A and B are shown apart, each in its own frame.
Chain A
Amino acid sequence: MPPAIHPIDLVDILRRHRLTPAIIFLTSRRGCDEAIDTFIHSTAGVSATRSKDIRVFLEQFAKDFPSIENHPLIPVVQDYGVAAHHAGHLPSWKMAIEELMRQGLLDAVFATTTLAAGVDFPARTVVISQSSVRKSQDFSDLTVSEIQQLAGRGGRRGKDFVGFVVVTPSPYIDLHVLGKGLTGQPESIDSQFVVSYPMVLNLLKAHTLDQIEGLLAKSFAQFQLNQRAAIHQERLNELHEQLKPYGPRECADWVAQWKVFDLARRRKAHRRPVVNTDSPYLTACLPFLTPGRLIGLAKGPAIILRQYRSRGTGTPMLSVLHTKGTIGECQAQRVMHIYDHVYEFHPIRTLPWCPPSTLHHFKQVLSQLPSRLPTVPIFEASQEADDPLLTEILTDQFACPTCPSHAACKKDFTSASRLQLKAQQVSKTIQALLDGLWHQFQRKADVLHKFGYLTANLQLTDEGEWGRLIRINHSLLITELIRMDAFSGMAPELLAGVMASIAHDDDRPSNYMRLTPGLASMLTQVRQVADSLSLYEPAPLLRSDVAAIAERWIGQTELSWTSLVRSTSMAEGDVYRLLARTLEFLSQIYGLKGTHPSLADTAHQAMVNMRREVLAELP
């Protein structure tokens, strides 16, 4: 939503109070473009001298970057000293605006918040009119770090005594998010380490398994996992301490013994065998699905309040507190994520299963969860052989009834078994945290072996030797396509088209463009392969419109940039980014010249055709 104040008034007020130059952050590219449009024919112009300075600068700049020469926004920038800056523009145009700003020739730049993420672009004043941004499909509040990145652009060292953040409202703004963001401590950063196929191949190329285990252990991911494991370890030590009074009695493992005895007694009473029909995965999960655990359901995160088995079917069930604050029941197998958070509380035996204060606390916890939550990896235990003690049940021969510890066991059983269960869970968690990355590596390596990039003892095969050179997203799809000769004898423009559709991961819609029959059938084939691999690698979007753009640009070398851009509804900057990314992908294929000379040649030809006009301006 655009700010409630009119852009011309906004700039006028900033100018009057000498708060220019300013960067005005808006939510959308369109908002920025529309703001600029309102200046046309207004009286908010700059002095003739400034206009001239801007013109002279842009003319000079266009000598190095001809792509901006006839840019449609030049008149507005010159006459009004304002500009828009967002990802829909060409890099050269953005660079021109940045430089104009640095030289103090502009009064205001309307920018999207992506600008803050890495352009060196300061001003005296920063205007913020929103407290949330679009992230994938949703709006979420700006983080403290993000707000400080935005605000940090205000006040230029050496050019300002003071800098300013001006907050002006737009619908849905939450001032408190901004207040906290401006004054708070930026968030900690967390590792986002994941093991990828190229990583596995490249590590195996140069290192032994032991060395690789050592290298993975060096990751920031493992460093942080170790810290979490250390916290759990402390908890485990505490539990062991608490378990001390429950050491060996007449029989060493009296807790287990009593449990079986107890079970047998009850069975006798009910005369109905309890059959365990849980899947191995569910069995592995159950120890974690205990009261206080944070879990992810289809509806979102929730906290478990109790675990029980349904009377009729014996299915494991959970009572949970949802984010909305409601309490509900759900089957344990519906749990999608098990997070590494357990909140201690005193369970009670009737609804709402916990004291009111806990309930209140949990609701608060749920409303303030961070967007990324660490999960607990679950390992299916190999199906345990039937408990040997079960046979004993049948014979009904227990020492317990006459055992001297009978009374003590009866009294202690509940607390001791609860503690034991907790201790088991905690040590499982610790193990999972310590081994998680290594397991990830092994799983990826298994897949690579299955596809023939690795031998059974994890040596690179010939395929693996060249496959490791493809170090981009969707590497498995690309190497598989190469192996099935999908590209053989293909024209450069077709190869470029396919690469573009694999490379482009933006789902911003654009209009349909005519596909050549060759490209269309090629894309169908690629989609089939991608779908068949989707178990091992998420399939790319494979948009046919972007494929068509790349095909045209590579295939028709006399086509000018302007006509290419005119033929699509995609913004110029997006077309540029698409082609630049395609170039990256092509250059990886070109890297296979040792093993696939003719394919590399095709890729090279495509790259040469690509590098013209605006695509030749920057390295």
Chain B
Amino acid sequence: MNDDDLQRELVSLPIKYLHQLAKGRIHRHFRLGKRRLIDCILALPSAQKMAIANDLQQISSVPKKSTTGSNRAQPHSPFYPQPSSPKKSHTSESTSPPIVLQDLLEGIGVPEPTAFIPDNWQREAVEAIAQSDVIVSAPTGSGKTFVATEAIKQAMASKQTVIYTSPLKALSNTKYMEFSEYFGKDTVGILTGDRRDNAQAPLLIMTTEILRNILYDATSGDLDLRLHTLGLVILDESQYLADPERGVVWEETLILCPTETRLLLLSASIGNPQELAEWLTSIRPNTSCHLIRHTKRSVPLRSLYLHPTGQLVPLLENRDIQQRKGYRFHPETKRLFNEYEFKPYH
């Protein structure tokens, strides 16, 4: 158990158990609030921390229900003598959330690392890009990068050049580092207005404006880069097409992109990806554009309302946020929020 795990476990415990664990190990532990107590425990020499971790294992083998559900009844384990009833600390009060919250906060934690198994939509996207243009519209954090990297591998395997564009230099830099780590430094280059780092690499990262300029120069016969080997263009954050100032650059790029080049558009959730796909299909001969629309979040999302007094209650009546089903605020949120609106400053 590393420090962070230990800390997480400790934080999840009601404070009385922490005092139990601290007994004999930390001087004047009963004087300390929960945070300080945890810090002191974490600052102990590692042998002692091991011992504490051991004790913790035993606690976690006690059914959790009994510690939280039934109004903090004392578990009948030899390990938990009656707490020495330290001064009631306000932290210990609020570590046991009220019943409604219990359900909402249930399951917080870190999953065990598992083997990477691509989702169906990811696999479908990777297969589709081998034959046609593809638009992927999926919520943030669902795994669009996997589709990109697989597509890049395919293209590089057949000795094609890949261009990856992002709307912001900051994102280009992040991707440059990420891809350099993943594909190897020599495989990745980056182009900006005045710098060309490793411009001969098979995978080139740039902003969409730079690609647009390359395409203009190419159509006017000014050369540039290896357009004839350009097999794949990936446009990240394609929803920028609707940016009032810069959106036009995405359209220019898509219109000018050679028809032999595959397009992969990655986009956050938008309302009309179908329309985009129909458009691309209509303007690019010999290929249709395949739409992969994934709307379900990979990690469920729940909502809470935090009142300025520190009360934490469910925001909505449904536990998990559900898309496109409407919403109803939880009565407790309604009550507290009315109170707040009536008298906002506490």
Contact = CB atoms under 8 A, between A and B. Distances in A.
Interface of A: 3-5, 9-10, 12-13, 15-19, 43-50, 91, 94-95, 98, 104, 118-120, 122, 124, 127, 145, 148-149, 151-169, 171, 175, 179-180, 182-194, 196, 199, 202, 205-207, 215, 218-221, 223-224, 372, 468, 471, 580, 583-584, 586-588, 590, 607, 611, 618-619
B253 to A, nearest CB: 11
A-B complex: 7 closest residue pairs judged by Cβ atoms: A155-B299, A152-B140, A189-B242, A188-B271, A192-B247, A587-B193, A4-B308
Nearest to B304: A166
Contacts of A16: 11, 34, 91, 94-95
Interface stretch (B67-75, B215-223, B225-233): B215-223
29 contacts: A9-B310, A12-B35, A18-B8, A18-B11, A43-B36, A47-B39, A95-B173, A118-B170, A154-B301, A160-B108, A160-B109, A160-B110, A164-B302, A165-B302, A166-B304, A179-B329, A182-B327, A183-B324, A185-B324, A187-B271, A189-B271, A192-B245, A193-B247, A199-B252, A205-B220, A471-B212, A471-B213, A590-B194, A619-B195
Nearest to A126: B301
Contacts of A618: 169, 173
Interface of B: 3-4, 7-8, 11-12, 34-36, 38-39, 42-43, 91, 94-95, 97, 105, 107-111, 113, 139-143, 166-174, 176, 190, 192-195, 197, 209, 212-213, 216, 219-221, 237, 239, 241-245, 247-248, 251-252, 254-256, 268-272, 275-276, 278-279, 282-283, 297-308, 310, 312, 315-316, 321-327, 329, 333, 337, 340, 344-346
Contacts, number: 289
Given A48-B43, A168-B306, A193 B248 contact: yes
A169 B195 contact: no
B255 to A, nearest CB: 5
A226 to B, nearest CB: 9
B193 A584 contact: yes
B109 A185 contact: no
Contact of B268 (A18, A152, A586): A152
A329 to B, nearest CB: 33
A183 B321 contact: yes
Nearest to B166: A118
A202 B327 contact: no
A185 B269 CA distance: 9
A318 B107 CA distance: 62
Nearest to A125: B304
Nearest to B94: A16
A125 to B, nearest CB: 9
B247 A191 contact: yes
A184 B327 CA distance: 9
A590 B333 CA distance: 59
Contacts of A186: 268-271
A366 B176 CA distance: 46
B194 A587 contact: yes
A202 B299 CA distance: 46
Given A183-B324, A607-B194, 5 more contacts: A50-B4, A118-B166, A164-B303, A166-B306, A588-B193
A167 to B, nearest CB: 5
Nearest to B318: A183
A208 to B, nearest CB: 12
A149 B140 contact: yes
Contacts of A194: 248
A471 B213 CA distance: 8
A151 B312 contact: no
B300 A155 contact: yes
B171 A165 contact: no
A46 to B, nearest CB: 8
B301 A167 contact: no
Contacts of B39: 45-48
B109 to A, nearest CB: 6
B322 A183 contact: yes
Contacts of B174: 95, 98, 119-120
Contacts of B337: 169, 175
Given A10-B306, A118-B168, A161-B108, A218 B255 contact: yes
Contact of A165 (B298, B321, B329): B321
Contact of B315 (A9, A46, A167, A189): A167
B244 A158 contact: no
B174 to A, nearest CB: 6
B297 to A, nearest CB: 7
Given A4-B345, A192-B242, A165 B304 contact: yes
A179 B306 contact: no
B244 A169 contact: no
Nearest to A52: B3
Given A183-B326, A189-B241, A223 B298 contact: no
A391 B278 CA distance: 54
